[in-house]
């Protein structure tokens, strides 16, 4: 009867979510994925059921109007958000996303995930997320600056180094963080560590740009080694071409793996013999400096094939590992089946919730090793936490020091996922359940200790 109790508990919690927010499908998906794996824990420790219900409701949500003047002198209006999800173990911490697809549902899903991810890092950080439906693509630097000043004029009332420390995410890179930091400093007259991902000259941490991609590869390496595989020589499909994809590629090259693909929202580049140093440098220049599209790649490298409007998962090639590093729900059931057919045996998520529930079922039924986002991509926020530490100390650590700490954190995250999987999961390699349970326990215990707040 335990199983029926598990499904009853899960159903009851999910029905509450649907009743409260019937239209928030991304949020529902994130909650369902976590709650469905917490079942065995909740049966053993039913006192955590009310705590989980409380955790699902964010502590605070701020939405606001963001008016700004474009290059033609016209006033534009966007919507700004900050979801302050959970502060049980530390100040709210999580990225800002500037993209037309940003909705409250998307930010609640990200803030919910972030709460567990930050718990897994072992650092004292709560969960949050924010952003706007503003699209930086195709805007001038002056327009992006104008938007950032307006956005921060309101956001500055709600954040601070011991309250809420935002960072970058999709559409928010070094340029945007710089503009936001400048605006915060002017509005408040305070030079404090209120944002992470800052430039190296004004309080940023070395290794922060590399952290999410490097961390995902460190996690992948541990996952492979624990299952008697070597990363060297593995053929890897990567999606995305932003910060995460770039540095995952870089670290895979360093470790002797072969990266076959990168992609953007218009299509996929496939390099049969792998992306080498020269191609990697071109990728970074194309995306970070020129802000161009991957369709330009074959005119530079004739070895490349470009597939318009398609994702890396369906490229006709043999591969061992897939690393989705673009965005949520980019691997659907059909894509997962294509990965199985290509010979892929391990998935490691660089993006947030890139696999749909149906895709995850395909991974499971084919016994694929699966490194879920909240564990595998936690390197980014881990180094953000280290950036906060350096700001508080008024010191800067060397790259080597930060990278060593990052490697240790990713190793600890893998170990805590593996041991929670062994204790509560369906199998000792059920790292998804392991990540959810290990992340949840720390937050839930802190919440219980703090009473009805």
b/e code 208-244 from CB counts within 10 Å (16+ = b): bbbbbbbbbbbbbbbbbeeeebebeebbbbbbbbbbb
Residue 393, CA distances (Å) to 136, 387, 390, 396 in order: 34, 10, 5, 8
Taking the C-alpha atoms of residue 5 and residue 425, their distance in angstroms, rounded to an integer, is 16
In the set 129, 234, 287, 374, the catalytic residue is 129
139 included as an active-site residue: no
Query: Could you tell me how many helices (H) and strands (E) the chain has, helices first?
Result: 15, 12
Q: What six digits make up the tokens of 361? A: 């079922």
Sign of the CA dihedral running 185, 189, 194, 198: positive
Q: Which residues contact 248 (CB under 8 A, 6 or more apart)?
A: 212, 213, 214, 216, 217, 238, 323, 325, 350
The H-or-E segment that residue 61 falls in is: strand 60-69
H-run or E-run covering 164: strand 164-167
- Residues 348, 383 contacting (CB under 8 angstroms): no
Count CB neighbours of 148 within 10 A. 29
The token pair that represents 396 in the structure block = 């800067």
Strand partners, 77: 67
Supply angle C-alpha 37, 43, 47, rounded to 5: 105
Report how far residue 417's alpha carbon sits from residue 258's, in angstroms, rounded to the nearest whole number. Answer: 27
Rounded distance between C-alpha atoms, residue 391 and residue 191, angstroms: 10
Cα–Cα distance, 416 to 428 (Å, whole number)? 12
Please list the active-site residues: 129
């Amino acid at each position: 009867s335990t199983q029926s109790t598990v499904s009853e508990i899960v159903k009851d919690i999910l029905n509450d979510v649907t009743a409260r927010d019937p239209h928030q499908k991304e949020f529902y998906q994130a909650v369902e994925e976590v709650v469905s794996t917490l079942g065995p824990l909740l049966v053993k420790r039913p006192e955590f059921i009310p705590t989980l219900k409380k955790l699902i409701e964010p502590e605070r949500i701020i939405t606001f109007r963001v008016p700004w003047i474009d290059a033609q002198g016209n006033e534009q209006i966007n919507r700004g958000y900050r979801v302050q999800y959970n502060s049980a173990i530390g100040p709210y911490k999580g990225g800002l996303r500037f993209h037309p697809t940003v909705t409250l549902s998307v930010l609640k899903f990200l803030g919910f995930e972030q709460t567990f991810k930050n718990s897994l890092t072992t650092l004292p950080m709560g969960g949050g997320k924010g952003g706007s439906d503003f699209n930086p693509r195709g805007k001038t630097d002056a327009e992006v600056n104008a938007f950032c000043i307006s956005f921060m004029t309101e956001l500055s009332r709600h954040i601070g180094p011991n309250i809420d420390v935002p960072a970058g995410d999709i559409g928010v890179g070094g340029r945007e963080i710089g503009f936001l930091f400048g605006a915060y400093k002017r509005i408040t007259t305070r030079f404090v560590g209120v944002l992470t991902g800052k430039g190296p000259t004004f309080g940023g941490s070395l290794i922060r740009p590399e952290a999410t991609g490097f961390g995902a590869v460190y996690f992948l390496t541990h996952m492979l080694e624990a299952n008697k595989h070597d990363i060297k020589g593995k053929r890897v499909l990567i999606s995305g071409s932003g910060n995460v994809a770039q540095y995952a590629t870089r670290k895979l090259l360093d470790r002797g793996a072969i990266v076959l693909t990168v992609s953007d929202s218009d299509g996929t580049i496939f390099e049969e013999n792998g992306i080498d140093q020269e191609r990697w440098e071109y990728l970074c220049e194309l995306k970070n400096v020129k802000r161009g599209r991957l369709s330009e790649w074959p005119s530079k490298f004739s070895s490349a094939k470009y597939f318009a409007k398609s994702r890396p998962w369906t490229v006709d090639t043999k591969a061992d590992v897939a690393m989705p590093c673009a965005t949520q729900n980019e691997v659907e059931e059909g894509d997962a089946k294509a990965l199985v057919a290509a010979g892929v045996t391990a998935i490691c998520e660089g993006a947030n919730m890139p696999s749909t529930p149906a895709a995850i079922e395909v991974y499971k039924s084919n016994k694929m090793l699966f490194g879920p986002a909240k564990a595998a991509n936690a390197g980014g926020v881990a180094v953000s936490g280290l950036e906060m530490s350096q700001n508080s100390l008024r010191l800067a650590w060397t790259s080597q020091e930060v990278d060593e700490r990052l490697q240790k954190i990713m190793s600890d995250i893998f170990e805590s996922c593996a041991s929670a999987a062994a204790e509560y999961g369906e199998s000792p390699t059920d790292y998804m359940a392991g990540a959810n349970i290990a992340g949840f326990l720390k937050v839930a215990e802190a919440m219980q200790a703090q009473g009805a707040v």
